[in-house]
Chain A
Amino acid sequence: MHKEKGLVSGFTDNYIKIEMPFQEGLINAILPAALTGIRRTGNVEVSVAFSASSNPLANFSGIQTC
């Protein structure tokens, strides 16, 4: 977790290192996520939905701070 840089990071189920802007509810949460781009760090950018049912893309990956 890189809260000080305004980011949280984690891994998808299939071990893609991901990160996105910090939001309180993401800490230690596993959530559906859609891969949206690659950052300069090489990590993959994601967007998440807080409810699986509301996200049509939700079936494969999660985010977890590390």
Chain B
Amino acid sequence: MSTPRSVAFYTLGCKLNYSETSSISRLFEQAGYREVPFEEGAGIYVINTCSVTDFADRKCRKIVRQALRQSPEAFVVVVGCYAQLKPEEIAHIPGVDLVLGAAEKFRILDYVDGLSKAPGKGLVFAGEVKEAKTFSDAFSFGDRTRSFLKVQDGCDYKCSFCTIPQARGESRSDSVEHVVANAQKIADLGIKEIVLTGVNIGDFGNGSEVIEGTRKKKEGLFLDLIRELDRVSEIPRFRISSIEPNLCTDEIIDFVASSTRFVPHFHMPLQSGSNKILKLMRRRYFRELYADRVARIKAQMPHACIGVDVIVGFPGETEADFLDTYHFLTDLDVSYLHVFTYSERANTPAPEFDDPVPVEERRRRNEMLSILSEKKAPVLLRTTPGPNPAGPF
């Protein structure tokens, strides 16, 4: 049964969404709401959605049903990337009362006050994504012993498969000073590890143009940020969630190697080991740059963990292109792969490209790289300092 002014949350997707849900929950708390577990039955359910996962629509419907099963009279509010991309579709899901877009979600209290259960479709407040220009800070706290600290949002890149810029808007960042203040707040809560999150965190301070040499540096960049955070001595561990290879500069690698707080763990999206496919994907590097980044990391931190995102079955990816990727990854000194099967996304250029790969073939390629990933994992154990583990590999 629901309690009046109680709220429950459900988060789909990435670390960034977790940090934002946590911040939205604190807004409710400050307004006098009580957060309850999802299964307990709440007066308001907030579902923070993702557009990257497959079947976003089906997942969203399922969670709405689950919420209403717990508490049939509850108000259901849907926010997040999928809410920005498909607000009207979501508003038609039976039981959804309110849909908030990227620019509106942190003003959620303005919308839920006075919300009434109306028959028919839910209310929609989702403006154009270009209106999402301000940076809203966020960090997670409570359900984990690590905190995901949001430092950047949005993306100015134009990868041909990606809907994130449409869901989150242009690249914008917090200030170095404010992130440090948030890290201090997190330390005061007793948390020991902070994971820096964002959509394209290497672009912090719009650093891409500075790194690419097309603009002079004006504000603090990602390197400046991690240097300052390294001084927050109450946090023994910082982790960088994911950084584009073209933005993972020598200086960043060297700094992490010399830091006692930033851990030797890099997650860098590769997406393809074929230069032809990288070009079609409109990525901003070729495989040679990626290999160079890995070599530099490993030269300085032989036990560093390097994780890789790869997409298989992108339009135009022939068997030879896929094998290019496979062999490239086989030779690369990395620790694990996150393998994604390409799926067509509305309003992106890639579905219009020639030579789509049959779905069965996409799955086979995913399977091959997943097996390769399993083979990679034990190598890190052998290179980690200390006694080697005795278990079977």
Contact = CB atoms under 8 A, between A and B. Distances in A.
Interface in B323-355: 335
Taking chain A's interface residues, is the majority helix, strand, or loop, or is none over half, making it mixed?
loop
Interface in B169-211: 190-193
Interface in B344-393: 377, 380-381, 384-393
Contact of A35 (B192, B237, B264, B384): B384
Contacts of B381: 16, 35, 38, 44
A15 B265 contact: yes
A34 B146 CA distance: 21
Interface in A38-58: 38-39, 42, 44-45, 57
A27 B264 CA distance: 23
Interface string A6-39: 0000001111100000000001111000111111
B303 A66 contact: no
Contacts of B307: 15
B386 A28 contact: no
Interface residues of B, number: 30
Contacts of B305: 14-16
B236 interface: yes
Contact of A13 (B237, B390, B391, B392): B237
B389 A36 contact: yes
A35 B389 CA distance: 5
Taking chain B's interface residues, is the majority helix, strand, or loop, or is none over half, making it mixed?
loop
Nearest to A1: B145
Contact of B335 (A1, A15, A35, A44): A15
Nearest to B267: A15
A16 B380 CA distance: 8
What band does the interface of chain A fall in when counting residues whose beta carbon is under 8 Å from B? Answer: 20 to 34
A36 B390 contact: yes
Nearest to A17: B377
B192 A61 contact: no
Given A13-B265, A27-B145, A28-B145, A60 B389 contact: no
B218 interface: no
Interface of B: 144-146, 190-193, 236-237, 263-265, 303-305, 307, 335, 377, 380-381, 384-393
Given A30-B192, A44-B381, 5 more contacts: A28-B192, A35-B387, A36-B387, A57-B386, A64-B237
23 contacts: A14-B305, A14-B384, A15-B263, A15-B305, A27-B145, A28-B191, A30-B193, A34-B386, A36-B389, A38-B391, A44-B381, A44-B389, A44-B391, A45-B389, A59-B385, A59-B386, A60-B303, A64-B146, A64-B193, A64-B237, A66-B144, A66-B145, A66-B146
Interface of A: 1, 12-16, 27-30, 34-39, 42, 44-45, 57, 59-62, 64-66
Q: Which 4 A-B pairs have the closest CB atoms?
A: A38-B391, A37-B391, A15-B305, A13-B263
